[in-house]
Chains A and B, each alone.
Chain A
Amino acid sequence: MMSELTRLTIAGARDALRAGDLTAADLTEACLTEIEGADALNAFVHHTPDMARQQAAKADARLRSGDAPAMCGIPLGIKDLFCTKGVASQAASHILGGFKPEYESTVTAKLWEAGAVMLGKLNMDEFAMGSSNETSAYGDVVNPWRRNGTDTALTPGGSSGGSAAAVAADLCLAATGTDTGGSIRQPAAFTGITGLKPTYGRCSRWGIIAFASSLDQAGPMTKSVRDAAIMLQAMAGHDAKDSTSADIPVPDFEAALTGDIRGRKIGLPREYRMDGMPAEIEKLWATGAEMLRDAGAEVVDISLPHTKYALPTYYVIAPAEASSNLARYDGVRFGHRAKLSQGDGITEMYEKTRAEGFGAEVQRRVMVGTYVLSAGFYDAYYNKARKVRTLIKRDFEQVFADGIDAILTPATPSAAFGLGEMASADPVQMYLNDVFTVTVNLAGLPGISVPAGQDQRGLPLGLQLIGKPWEEGDLLNHALVLEQAAGFAARPDRWW
């Protein structure tokens, strides 16, 4: 009975809460019970049950008074990248060990103002750098899904792996994620949930621990497209504290969900048909296109000629920005400071602190970023990458100008792989996970991953839809059609 409550969607819970058929206190208690029983997933890394119960009590009072926004009483998990006042927020890094912010991120503050309930903080790749949740200082997250008939532990994807696993395992109704190169959409695809990366600037980045500031964007990870619309509504909006957050009205995203896409034009980019793409992925993509066609859309081939340069561009720009953003972790103002030896000066303090505090992948990216920004290489690497980024964005502008309303692609090049399976691969092999998602960050566009099928071994597969800037409502409407046509209803067998 309790666990059935946690299976609710945001929309379902909202309606039940408003009708008085359910209390936020009961719903919250059910989630807390599920979380307690799910240590094997390693999704929740900081638990905040007292805060959750207090927020739930307030939400119930608000519901009774009739003043209840859609998110009122909805229990959420929060990615560890979001600063939450008085609650550990350490980006899954040792270097922020013990850090408890004195302030609240704008996105989480908006969610609490809307009455949402915080269950705790969710595991992730360290500083959001990773595609498998294996770079976390808290240890790996385990995907609730398993291949049919096996007990091999699989990755939930990354970097928002804890968020994805928690939503897929019904530990919470939804979770926040962040997406710099695919960190919402790839884990959503690996766990059979919906993940939306909004247009760059739609959600404030203030109080979200920075990775690559020109690419980072927060978004909802949910059990349905409708839930993504409802949750984005509460997260979005201009914030004077983030100068890149857009000062434009936030439309009613849920109202855009008409389910009618007749006459809309969907593009299939031919450059996304990669060599060696698994037949299952190709088939899923074709099936998705057929579903949109059946719904009355026109599906056409398009070209995004600079696609193959997106990953190399990303792996210049993201490390460059990371090396700058992560310079603040110096052992002085917050987090970890290394034990120093007799005679050590401030340089030794910096170097030892950062060597101890950052994991291998973070160190690698900070150093690559340092290199591409260093004297003599700035033009050859960093400026070159920024120019190619202009061309990548122009590719999208061109197809939208030609009348394309949305672009359909696979979300990932494979289903979830085994934890440790990529351990012996070079870093670039892991980076290829983001091949279909990274273009969207470089162009600042909204993108959504929708569960659309299963592979031969029963694992979920996702399709990605890419929309025009600021047209999340329209994008969500296309996603709704895909969701309804795909009818993805599978759920992982409970083994944890």
Chain B
Amino acid sequence: MSIDHETAAKVAKLARIRVEPDALPALADEFNTILGFIEQLGEVDVDGVEPMTSVTPMRLKRRDDVVTDGDQQRAVLANAPDAREGFFAVPKVVE
């Protein structure tokens, strides 16, 4: 499976990372090198093998469905690049 420029551009779009058009050929080459390395997995017989979901055989714990935290508006917004009137501010999302 070889990745062309168009696929590289699509992946960049999905990842929400701007890649300038002139950088796409090099990016596609790198993907192909890495994916070529990954292709080795095709040799392994995995018939009847379960995909790993947890590396240690543990049940995820559940906790009581109660409020444990909150009323932290200042702390939540403290690191925002743009916070106004108690909210995160972003460019216009809907016209």
Binary per-residue interface labels of chain B (26-48) against chain A in the complex, 1 for a CB within 8 Å, 0 otherwise:
01001101110111111110100
Confirm or deny: A279 has a beta carbon within 8 angstroms of a beta carbon on chain B. no
CA distance A444 to B56 in the complex (A): 7
Asked if B61 is an interface residue, CB under 8 A from chain A, the answer is: yes
Contact B80 A333 (CB under 8 A): yes
The 8 A CB mask of B58-77 against A (1 = contact, 0 = none) is 10110100000000100110
A327 to B14, CA, bound (A): 11
8 Å CB interface, A351-380 against B: 351-352, 354-355, 358, 363-364, 366-368, 370-372, 374
In the complex, the answer to whether B58 meets A385 with C-beta atoms within 8 Å is no
A102, B34: Cβ atoms closer than 8 Å? no
Q: Please tell me which one of the listed residues A102, A200, A332, A391 contacts residue B75 in the complex, with CB atoms under 8 A apart.
A: A102
Q: Would you give the shortest CB distance from A310 to chain B, in whole angstroms?
A: 11
Q: How far is the CA of A358 from the CA of B15 in the complex (A)?
A: 12
Judged by a CB distance under 8 angstroms, whether B22 is at the interface is: no
Decide: A100 and B15 in contact? CB cutoff 8 A: no
- Does chain A have a CB within 8 A of B91? yes
- With A246-B58, A368-B34, A390-B50 known as contacts, the answer to whether A316 contacts B41 (CB < 8 A) is yes
Binds B, one of A10-18, A257-265, A340-348: A340-348
Complex: A444 Cα to B12 Cα, angstroms: 31
* B56 adjacent to A323 (CB under 8 Å): no
From B35, B43, B50, B61, A387 is in contact (CB under 8 Å) with B50
The answer to whether B33 touches A390 (Cβ under 8 A) is no
Distance in angstroms from A374 CB to nearest chain B CB is 6
Whole-angstrom distance from the CB of B66 to the nearest CB of chain A?
13
Q: A201-B58, A323-B15, A332-B90 are in contact. Are A388 and B41 (CB under 8 A)?
A: yes
Min CB gap B44→A, angstroms? 5
A469-B56 contact in complex given A346-B93, A367-B31, A426-B33, C-beta closer than 8 Å: yes
Query: What are 20 A-B pairs with beta-carbon distances under 8 A?
Result: A214-B54, A244-B54, A312-B40, A316-B41, A331-B81, A332-B90, A335-B81, A346-B93, A351-B13, A358-B17, A363-B17, A367-B8, A367-B31, A370-B11, A371-B11, A387-B46, A387-B52, A390-B50, A443-B55, A444-B55
Given contacts A214-B54, A355-B18, 6 further A-B contacts (CB under 8 A): A309-B40, A330-B16, A351-B13, A367-B8, A371-B35, A386-B53
User: Which positions in B face A, CB cutoff 8 Å?
Assistant: 3, 8, 11-19, 27, 30-31, 33-35, 37-44, 46, 49-56, 58, 60-61, 63, 72, 75-76, 78-82, 88, 90-93
